[in-house]
Amino acid sequence: MAVEAAAPAKVNLTLHVTGRRADGYHLLDSLVVFADAADRVTVEPAEAWSLTVSGPMAASVPGGDDNLVLRAARMTEGPPARISLDKRLPVAAGIGGGSADAAAVLTALHRLDGRAIPDDVVTLGADVPVCLHGRPTRMSGIGETQAEVPDLPGCALVLVNPGVPVPTPAVFAALTRRENPPMPEDLPHWRDAETFARWLSTQRNDLEDVARMEAPAVGVALSRLQATDGCLLSRMSGSGATCFGLYADSVQANAAAAELAALHPDWWIVAALPLRAPG
Ligand code: C5P
């Protein structure tokens, strides 16, 4: 019997870098949502662990035992499985990547035979715990702490990746300000997409300026998004290079995605809705 789990794109609507731990990892305060654009992971019982990767982004995924999906699967205490990864989201892109896939394989193995999800998954990747959570979350620490957030208003996203991989360590290493203010302790109730965008615009992604310098295509993606009809806010997710635009509804998001795809046929562009619960 094969069991599937989705690995939805993680989008940091805000990402404040608030400090640094002694081991060099950065402390974050981030409002994270997941979008209904996803990789898919399938597991089925087998004699030995194996991983096959297919899908439009398969070529950019490292295979073999170093793959985060296999490392996550082997951390569980349970029999081996044949794992298939349908890779649809761009890699090294600020939307979860290996961490999202690792979380999905842990979820799929749990669904397969009830095996426990290990406690120390943050050691696989700082975004694994939030990806296991899979719903709108306020993430802090280096990624290990999750807190509930007020209900999101109806809204839609366009995700744009200009095709430049941005390695996360390089972006963090290039930061000059590492102690920035967190988000307010209490998050407001957002009445509608406009109120939400207005509040988000008072918050930040502290990695955006550095990523724009490392990869100027980030700045181009942001200005293209901002110029589309109905774009309430444009910002980079994670350490880039994927950027998002926020829209009032999916009609506007679909129109913006189509307009951008006509301008940049080589970019990865999707209109997506934020997920309210794990996929
Ligand atoms: O944990 P992950 O593999 O996503 O992180 C990649 C790199 O990004 C880390 O080795 C570290 O250099 C940097 N990072 C950080 N602080 C975080 C997350 C990642 O400095 N909270």
For 3, how many CA atoms within 13 A lie in the half-sphere containing its CB? 15
- Marked catalytic residue, from 10, 29, 86, 87: 10
pLDDT tens series, the chain, 279 aa = 899 999 999 999 999 999 999 999 999 999 999 999 999 999 999 999 999 999 999 998 877 777 999 999 999 999 999 999 999 999 989 999 999 999 999 999 999 999 999 999 999 999 999 999 999 999 999 999 999 999 999 999 999 999 998 999 999 999 999 999 999 999 999 999 999 999 999 999 999 999 999 999 999 999 999 999 999 999 999 999 999 999 999 999 999 999 999 999 999 999 999 998 776
Partnered with residue 9 across adjacent β-strands are 35
Q: Look at the block and give the residue holding tokens 């081996």.
A: 80
Instruction: Using a cut of 0.90, tell me whether the model's pTM lies above it.
Output: yes
Nearest protein CA to atom 18 of ligand 1, as residue:
126
User: What pLDDT does residue 266 have?
Assistant: 97
Q: Domain residue spans in the chain?
A: 3-141, 150-272
269 is in an annotated binding site: no
Decide: 11 and 237 in contact? Cβ < 8 Å. Answer: yes
Measured from the Cα of 141, ligand 1's closest atom is 21
Omega into 103 within 30° of 0, i.e. cis?
Answer: no
How high is the ipTM of this complex?
Answer: 0.93
Q: Is 87 labeled as catalytic in the residue annotation?
A: no
Q: Output the pLDDT for position 239.
A: 97
Check if 98 has its Cβ closer than 6 Å to any atom of ligand 1.
Answer: no
Q: Given the CA of residue 127, which atom of ligand 1 is nearest to it? A: 4
State the fold for domain 150-272: Alpha-Beta Plaits (3.30.70)
Q: Do the domains 3-141 and 150-272 sit in the same CATH topology, yes or no? A: no
Rounded distance between C-alpha atoms, residue 247 and residue 35, angstroms: 13
Which tokens belong to 92? 């090294």
Q: Which of 23, 26, 121, 131 has most ligand 1 atoms within 8 Å of CB, for mutation?
A: 26
Beta bridge partners of 43: 3, 83
Q: Give me the catalytic one of 39, 86, 101, 127.
A: 127
Q: Which CATH number fits domain 3-141: 1.10.10.10, 3.40.190.10, 3.30.230.10, 3.40.50.620?
A: 3.30.230.10
Residues written for the chain:
279
- For residues 252 and 154, the answer to whether their CB atoms sit within 8 Å is no
The answer, yes or no, to whether any atom of ligand 1 lies below 6 A from the CB of 170, is no
Determine whether the shortest distance from the Cβ of 168 to ligand 1 is under 6 A: yes
How far, in Å, CA of 150 to CA of 187, rounded?
7
pLDDT value of position 279: 64
Per DSSP, 101 falls in state: H
Q: Please state, in angstroms and rounded to a whole number, the distance separating the CA atoms of residues 6 and 278.
A: 9
- The span from the CA of 269 to the CA of 160, in Å, is 5
CA atoms lying within 13 Å on the CB side of residue 157: 27
Distance (Å, whole) CA 159 – CA 33: 12
3-state secondary structure at position 50:
strand
Spatial distance between the Cα atoms of 79 and 193, rounded to a whole number of angstroms: 46
- Give pairs for 224-227: CB < 8 Å, separation 24+: 224/160, 224/260, 224/263, 224/264, 225/158, 225/160, 225/256, 225/260
